[in-house]
């Protein structure tokens, strides 16, 4: 099959490509002036707290190299914590400390770090080693998420998360991202994590992919990936819809986690969410986005906007 034939088939399947995403959705729907609300994780956290949306607790913020050593006081009395860049992307620069033994800080892979080594990592964060554009950054010290036990058999070390693509305030498509050994325990598809599509009506996982290959079992554990029920799915969709209140962007990626103790938490928002979510779900986005556009004017209440996507999928089942 030639290139033009493949492109035609993808269009017929409703697959949104990166150029179409940028020109057709991001540029007209995402005002550049609002990007700071999602690119700066500190600002996102502040807005979420003000709106009554749960996020991982902030233990401290470090903005200067001479203050890097102060992390010791910020985590005093805590057994675990996370260090992350305020302007990072793709999981880069995130240091997860899962335990403390005397003066050592233990990472999730069992490697022990000294306080000086943690400080050095923070100094790299401040220097912009992991930030967008390599600009000087801030280091966030925050609560370490303990993921819900429902994901215990399908996640390698790291924390699985749920990515919801929200279009014009309506949750349009979702996937569960599961860390693997090859992804280094990160829930990042580009690094080898699993992406499992989620049925928007039931909250059950459907298809799954890893490194752009369709799979049915977790590559490390051999556990089935289809049919996994996401706890509290209706509430998660409403939470995703509410995130447009924090950043009124028309094309928004919402990343959330299910903490075993605290329930749903918003990790971060993304003004340029990727398109791998289509591969994970085995279908294109265009039909869903066109339906949402045709449903205008859209309701202002999050619950009513979630009802829009439910009506869409119910109509698909009625004709399937």
So where are the chain's domains?
A: 3-51+148-319, 58-142
**Directed axis angle between helix 302-319 and helix 286-294, to 10°?**
120
3-state DSSP assignment of residue 98: strand
**So what's the pLDDT on residue 4?**
55
**Residue 73 DSSP code:** H
3-state secondary structure of 239: helix
pLDDT in tens, 231-272: 999 999 999 999 998 999 999 999 999 999 999 999 999 999
Domain 3-51+148-319 homologous superfamily, CATH: ATP-grasp fold, B domain (3.30.470.20)
pLDDT tens-digit series, residues 111-121: 999 999 999 99
Asked if CATH classification 3.40.720 holds for the domain at 58-142, the reply, yes or no, is no
Average confidence (pLDDT) over 132-157: 91
**Residue bearing the bigger pLDDT, 170 or 90:** 170
pTM of structure = 0.92
**What are 142's two structure tokens?**
């925050």
- Residue pointed to by tokens 């909250």: 203
Q: Provide the pLDDT for residue 184.
A: 86
Q: Cα separation of 175 and 284, whole Å?
A: 13
Q: Dihedrals φ, ψ of 99, to 5°?
A: -160, 165
Q: What is the DSSP letter of 131?
A: B
**DSSP letter (8 states) at residue 147:** B
Please give the structure tokens belonging to residue 123.
């100094």
Nearest to 167 by CA among 45, 317, 32, 24: 24
């Amino acid at each position: 099959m030639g290139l033009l034939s493949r492109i035609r088939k993808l269009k017929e399947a409703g697959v949104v490509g990166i150029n179409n995403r940028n020109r057709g959705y991001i540029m007209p729907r995402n005002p550049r002036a609002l990007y700071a609300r999602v690119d700066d994780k500190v600002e996102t956290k502040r807005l979420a707290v003000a709106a009554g949306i749960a996020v991982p607790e902030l233990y401290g913020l470090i903005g200067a190299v001479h203050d890097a050593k102060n992390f010791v006081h910020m985590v005093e009395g805590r057994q675990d914590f996370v260090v992350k860049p305020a302007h990072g992307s793709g999981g880069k620069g995130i240091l997860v400390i899962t335990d403390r033994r005397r003066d050592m800080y233990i990472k999730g892979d069992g490697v022990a770090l000294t306080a000086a080594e943690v400080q050095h990592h923070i100094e790299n964060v401040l220097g912009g080693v992991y930030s967008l554009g390599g600009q000087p950054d801030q280091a966030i010290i925050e609560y370490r998420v303990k993921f819900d036990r429902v994901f215990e058999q399908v996640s390698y070390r790291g924390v699985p998360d749920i990515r919801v693509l929200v279009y014009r305030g309506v949750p349009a498509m979702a996937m569960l991202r599961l860390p693997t050994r090859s992804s280094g325990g990160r829930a990042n598809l580009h690094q080898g994590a699993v992406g499992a599509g989620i049925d928007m009506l039931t909250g059950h996982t459907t298809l799954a992919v890893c490194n752009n290959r369709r799979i049915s079992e977790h590559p490390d554990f051999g556990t089935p990936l289809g049919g996994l029920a996401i706890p509290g799915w209706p509430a998660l969709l409403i939470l995703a819809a509410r995130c447009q209140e924090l950043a009124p962007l028309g094309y928004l990626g919402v990343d959330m986690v299910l903490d075993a103790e605290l329930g749903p938490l918003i990790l971060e928002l993304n003004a340029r969410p990727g398109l791998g979510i289509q591969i994970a779900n085995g279908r294109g986005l265009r039909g869903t986005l066109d339906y949402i556009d045709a449903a205008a004017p859209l309701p202002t209440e999050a619950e009513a906007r979630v009802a829009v996507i439910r009506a869409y999928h119910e109509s698909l089942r009625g004709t399937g």
